[in-house]
């Protein structure tokens, strides 16, 4: 502040106005009160700061705002402030190039990225966000990831040692604050030189020390914030005490007010540095390492967050207690009483149970007690996550597998242990006795089933494209090993129902895996190296033999409908996966599952849908195009193949599915390694539809009653026709559409080049086990259907055509061409006759012209219009008898004959798969369509 002092010229007083000291004056001073304070400068402080300080202060202000917004999850504010921070940092580029990137800036970038990643992974939290925050979160996450690429090395260094980086930053800030304090003092000295003042008035030293005591630290210390009125007012004690000395010292020099003191420790800035260092020591725990017994009594003790209700662990046994079976069982019950209570430390409970098991083993209390404790340890591990949706952490999962293995080891080593759910607590026998075997309440099958479910949950909740998923999948071998051990144990000691349950668990881990070794053996191939040959010889049964044995036992012994249904579906899936089409088809038709599958629970319906899809793909590989299309039609026509196969959820409105239903459906999802490739599935369906639809469209070009075999295929054709600019096909769908157009013109070579090429091979055809055989089958089918399409399209142009010419055009044998044309003539699809001596096809001019076709269409429409008018008039007059008789004799019989005619070619499905229309996973492999056709065909 600007102050007027008693001595010195006007210029000197103006030069000294940059100092920040407040000089108290007595009421009896010679100056007038009006001259003591300037109204404009009363509350003004001038601080001289460097450009670096200004820029860094601006950055720290933005960082504080961002951190406050992070605390309240205000993503919009975070985004806005982050953009301003980036602009401010860009302005500070010159300073950053000299000084380096400040550590507090790097710390914010690292913390903000981690914070955004945590929010992104919190699915529940994201759903609760409003629209603006969710959008800002997505935008900010992308920006921070892109922005942090320029600071990767600095962020990596900070993450390696975040504590050290924080300390360095604090020290740097302290140095800056000290240097700024010094620069302020130096700025004060620059106004008037100390020597000049000392030469004038050497007596002013004692007076200056008085001012230093009162006014030092106004700039750096936050505690000394008295008002100007208090410093200058006449009522304070200090002003009263100094008033007597005022006249004596009013002519003395005040130069030492602006001088630095020799003792640097008395400055408040240095004291602040010392305080910060002391706090840092306390944070690092050095304060706790003080010497002397007196200090140890007042130390702070670190405690965990929360308010646990059970603070003290129950003591195992008092000193000198005789440890026997009843004492251990009593202690076990004490530990179990805390199970499920609020505030119970579950990890500590598991440790106590492990300690109790060790005590029981050390004191040789027998295997009965040990088995009982092991049962409770495994149950406690399952209870560690109380939430159903949560999955087990890796360390708990390993402990669980180890405990189950140890339990099975005990059961295999000691045949005198009987376990069962029907054994009551009172009738348990845990003591060692030669006459009576151990009897323990529990069910090892339930534990293994829960272990299998936990494994599925772990796979569902792991990112399928990460290395972690592969590592978790390696545990499946261990899970299958435990199931096999339990299977061999229950075959000797378990009931039929338990054996069926464990057989189903084994089937569920086998049915979706392709047996490459069995496939190689069926083709007569052997391993390339001797070790591979030895390994193949040492291998046990083929998966087909194992599936056959396990499934047939369930078919014969199972009393519950669900286990048998799942076993049948898995058996069909396994047959279809290994190209055993006829066995899979016959088993599906004999089981009649398609009649009542809509009443099954959703997981079984998902399994049914997966089986139907695999059956359709198998039929396609075998060249059964019509069967493949019929099997895949229901899943593909619904437009929800991903959801019906349990491979993901489609985006829906909250009205259709609330959050609770979404959680339930997520738990039903199939793990990624069991997925069926959806692009492969769609390609197989579209190619099958093309091979059926294109010849049919060519044959019924002018038919008014022409129907669609595949709506989805027609939709893709319409999409292709609507494109204004047709370039080379890129996606799988575009390849099929381009191939369909070529086939429609009878150009089989172009069609073949679109369906089978490098891009389609890599996307689809190379995914089949017998790739070359599938390609050869496809080429053959394209040639045959292109020949039929050509004859349908251009038959009106020819009077006769040689079969040899057709054979050369489509590169087919003459016998094959003869067979195709004969079938077309027999089915009355082609009006022609075969001339055997000349090997030609003679066309009959019986097809109506385009004008005649239009006239026929007009006649049919007029007939239907007349029929409708007659019905309306009959309803008005109330004559029902005539209407019914006429309808039965006329229109209805015509409809029947139309359907009877269509039976020979492609009968439309009635009923069908209800999942596409009624919701849920309801499938129908209906009687009217697919099964009747196959019964007629085979």
Share the mean pLDDT of the chain. Answer: 75
**Span 597-620, mean pLDDT?**
94
Whether the Cβ atoms of residue 317 and residue 330 lie closer than 8 Å to each other: no
pLDDT at 269: 52
pLDDT of residue 26: 43
- What pLDDT shows up at residue 46? 66
User: In this prediction, what percent of the chain has a pLDDT beyond 90?
Assistant: 31
- pLDDT attached to residue 3: 46
Number of H helices, E strands in the chain: 47, 5
Whole-model pTM: value is 0.60
What pLDDT, on a 0 to 100 scale, did the predictor assign at position 603?
93
Structure-token pair, residue 703: 């038919």
Asked if residue 331 has pLDDT above 80, the reply is: yes
Which range among 261-270, 462-471, 518-527, 686-695 shows the weakest confidence by mean pLDDT?
Answer: 261-270
pLDDT at residue number 213: 39
Beta strands in 681-830 (DSSP E): 800-802
Gap between the terminal Cα atoms of the chain: 107
pLDDT at position 4 = 46
For residues 74 and 129, give the distance between their C-alpha atoms in angstroms, rounded to a whole number: 10
Query: Which of 345-359, 423-437, 891-905 is predicted least confidently?
Result: 891-905
Asked if pLDDT for residue 87 goes beyond 80, the answer is: yes
Give CB contacts under 8 A, 24+ apart, made by 11-14.
Answer: 12/192
pLDDT value of residue 326: 84
Q: Tokens at residue 32, please?
A: 């007038």
The average pLDDT across 807-825 equals: 92
Fold of 677-843: Arc Repressor Mutant, subunit A (1.10.10)
pLDDT at 568: 96
Tokens of 518: 């069995």
Q: Does residue 664 carry a pLDDT above 70?
A: yes
Sheet strand arrangement including 840-843: 800-802, 840-843, 832-835
Would you state the pLDDT for residue 608? 95
From the CA atom positions of the chain, what is the Rg in Å? Answer: 45
Tokens coding 302? 């670190």
The 8-class DSSP code of residue 419 comes to E
User: Does 359 or 190 have the greater pLDDT score?
Assistant: 359
**632 within 8 A of 616, measured Cβ to Cβ:** yes
Is-contact 451 482, C-beta < 8 A? yes
DSSP code string of 309-363? S--SPPPS--TT----HHHHHHHHHHHHHTTT-TT--HHHHHHHHHHHHHHHHHT
pLDDT score, position 217: 40
Q: What letter would DSSP give residue 929?
A: I
| Mean pLDDT, rounded, for 536-545 | 70
Contacts of 543 (CB under 8 A, 6+ apart): 510, 513, 515, 518, 574
Span 264-283, pLDDT tens digits? 444 555 455 566 666 655 55
Going by pLDDT thresholds of 50, 70 and 90, the confidence category of residue 818 is very high
CA distance 614 to 585: 11
* Rounded average pLDDT over 362-370: 85
pLDDT value for 607: 95
Matching residue, tokens 């005490």: 241
Retrieve residue 800's tokens.
């006769």
Task: Identify the residue whose tokens are 């055009």.
Answer: 809
pLDDT (average), residues 486-496: 89
List of long-range contacts for 501-506, beta carbons under 8 Å, 24+ apart: 501/445, 501/449, 501/563, 502/445, 502/448, 503/550, 503/553, 503/554, 503/567, 504/554, 504/563, 504/566, 504/567, 505/448, 505/449, 505/452, 506/480, 506/546, 506/550
Sequence spans of domains, the chain: 51-160, 677-843
Q: Which pLDDT belongs to residue 345?
A: 81
pLDDT band at 836 (very low <50, low <70, confident <90, very high): confident
Quote the tokens at residue 304: 């965990």
pLDDT tens figures, 769-779: 889 999 999 99
The whole-angstrom separation of Cα 543 and Cα 18 is 93
* Structure-model confidence comparison of residues 24 and 140, the more confident one: 140
Phi and psi, residue 800, nearest 5°: -155, 155
Note the pLDDT of residue 419.
Answer: 86
Question: pLDDT tier at 429 (50, 70, 90 boundaries)?
Answer: confident
What pLDDT band is residue 101 in, cutting at 50, 70 and 90?
confident
- For residue range 225-241, what is the model confidence (pLDDT) as tens digits? 444 444 444 444 444 44
Checking if the pLDDT of 571 tops 90, the result is yes
pLDDT at 276: 62
d(C-alpha 432, C-alpha 325), whole Å: 9
């Amino acid at each position: 502040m600007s102050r007027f002092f008693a001595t010195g010229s006007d210029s000197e007083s103006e030069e000294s106005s940059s100092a920040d000291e407040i000089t108290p004056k007595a009421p009896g001073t010679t100056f007038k009160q009006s001259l003591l304070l300037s109204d404009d400068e009363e509350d003004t402080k001038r601080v001289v700061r460097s450009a670096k300080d200004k820029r860094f202060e601006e950055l720290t202000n933005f960082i504080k705002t961002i951190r406050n917004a992070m605390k309240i999850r205000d993503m919009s504010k975070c985004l806005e402030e982050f953009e301003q921070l980036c602009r401010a940092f860009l302005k500070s580029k010159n300073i950053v190039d000299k000084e380096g990137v400040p550590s507090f800036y790097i710390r914010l970038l690292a913390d903000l990225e981690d914070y955004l990643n945590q929010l992104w992974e919190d699915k529940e939290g994201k759903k609760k966000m409003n629209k603006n925050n969710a959008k800002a979160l997505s935008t900010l996450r992308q920006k921070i990831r892109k922005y942090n690429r320029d600071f990767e090395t600095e962020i990596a260094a900070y993450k390696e040692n975040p504590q050290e980086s924080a300390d360095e930053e604090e020290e740097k800030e302290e140095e800056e604050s000290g240097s700024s304090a010094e620069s302020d003092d130096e700025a004060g000295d620059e106004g008037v030189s100390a020597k000049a003042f000392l030469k004038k008035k050497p007596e002013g030293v004692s007076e200056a020390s008085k001012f230093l005591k009162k006014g030092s630290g106004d700039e750096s210390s936050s505690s000394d914030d008295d008002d100007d009125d208090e410093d200058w007012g006449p009522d304070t004690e200090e002003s009263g005490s100094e008033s007597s000395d005022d006249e004596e010292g009013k002519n003395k020099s005040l130069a030492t007010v602006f001088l630095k003191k020799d003792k640097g420790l008395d400055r408040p800035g240095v004291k602040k540095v010392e305080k910060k260092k002391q706090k840092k020591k306390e944070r690092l725990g050095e304060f706790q390492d003080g010497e002397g017994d007196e200090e140890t009594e007042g130390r702070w003790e670190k405690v965990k967050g929360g308010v646990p209700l059970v603070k003290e662990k129950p003591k195992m046994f008092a000193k000198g207690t005789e440890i026997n079976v009843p004492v251990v069982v009593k202690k076990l019950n004490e530990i179990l009483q805390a199970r499920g209570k609020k505030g119970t430390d579950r990890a500590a409970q598991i440790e106590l149970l492990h300690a109790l098991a060790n005590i029981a083993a050390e004191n040789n209390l027998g295997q009965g007690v040990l088995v009982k404790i092991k049962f409770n340890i495994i149950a406690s591990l399952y209870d560690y996550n109380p939430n159903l949706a949560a999955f087990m952490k890796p360390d708990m999962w390993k402990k669980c597998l180890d405990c189950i293995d140890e339990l099975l080891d005990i059961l295999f080593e000691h045949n005198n242990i009987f376990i069962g759910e029907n054994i009551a607590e009172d009738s348990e026998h845990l003591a060692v006795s030669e006459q009576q075997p151990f009897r323990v309440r529990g069910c090892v099958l339930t534990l293994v089933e829960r272990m299998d479910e936990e494994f599925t949950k772990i796979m569902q909740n792991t990112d399928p494209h990460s290395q972690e998923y592969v590592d978790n999948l390696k545990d499946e071998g261990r899970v299958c090993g435990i199931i096999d051990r339990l299977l061999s144990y229950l075959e000797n000691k378990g009931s039929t129902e338990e054996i069926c349950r464990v057989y189903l668990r084994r089937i569920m881990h086998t049915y979706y895996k392709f047996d490459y070794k069995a496939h190689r053996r069926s083709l007569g191939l052997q391993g390339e190296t001797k070790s591979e040959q030895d390994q193949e010889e040492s291998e046990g049964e083929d998966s087909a033999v194992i599936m056959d044995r396990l499934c047939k036992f369930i078919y014969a012994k199972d009393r519950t409908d669900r286990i048998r249904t799942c076993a049948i579906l898995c058996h069909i899936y396994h047959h279809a996966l290994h190209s055993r089409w006829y066995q899979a088809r016959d088993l599906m038709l004999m089981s009649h599952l398609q009649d009542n599958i809509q009443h099954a629970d959703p997981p079984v319906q998902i399994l049914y849908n997966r089986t139907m899809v695999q059956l359709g793909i198998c039929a396609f590989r075998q060249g059964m195009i019509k069967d493949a299309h019929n099997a895949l039609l229901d899943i593909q026509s619904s437009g929800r193949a991903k959801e019906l196969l349990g491979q993901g959820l489609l985006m829906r409105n909250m009205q259709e599915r609330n959050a609770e239903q979404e959680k339930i459906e997520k738990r039903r999802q199939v793990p990624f390694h069991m997925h069926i490739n959806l692009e492969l599935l769609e390609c197989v369906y579209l190619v099958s539809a093309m091979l059926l639809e294109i010849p049919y469209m060519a044959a019924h070009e002018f038919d008014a009653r022409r129907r669609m075999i595949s709506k989805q295929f027609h939709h893709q054709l319409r999409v292709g026709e609507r494109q204004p600019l047709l370039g080379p096909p890129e996606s799988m769908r575009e390849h099929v559409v381009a191939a369909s157009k070529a086939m429609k013109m009878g150009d089989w070579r172009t069609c073949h080049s679109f369906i089978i090429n490098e891009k389609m091979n890599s996307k689809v055809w190379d995914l089949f086990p017998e790739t070359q055989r599938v390609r050869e089958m496809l080429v053959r089918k394209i040639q045959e259907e292109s020949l039929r399409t050509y004859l349908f399209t251009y038959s009106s142009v020819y009077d006769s055509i040689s079969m040899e010419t057709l054979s050369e055009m489509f590169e087919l044998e003459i016998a094959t061409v003869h067979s195709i044309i004969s079938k077309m003539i027999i089915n009355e699809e082609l009006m022609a006759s075969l001339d055997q001596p000349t090997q030609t096809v003679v066309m009959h001019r019986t097809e109506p012209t385009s004008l005649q076709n239009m006239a026929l269409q007009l006649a049919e429409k007029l007939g239907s219009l007349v029929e409708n008018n007659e019905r309306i008039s009959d309803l008005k007059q109330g004559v029902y008898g005539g209407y019914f008789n006429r309808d039965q004799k006329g229109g209805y019989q015509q409809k029947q004959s139309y359907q009877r005619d269509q039976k020979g070619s492609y009968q439309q499905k009635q009923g069908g798969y209800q999942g596409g229309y009624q919701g849920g996973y309801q499938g129908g492999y209906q009687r009217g369509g697919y099964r009747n056709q196959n019964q007629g065909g085979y």
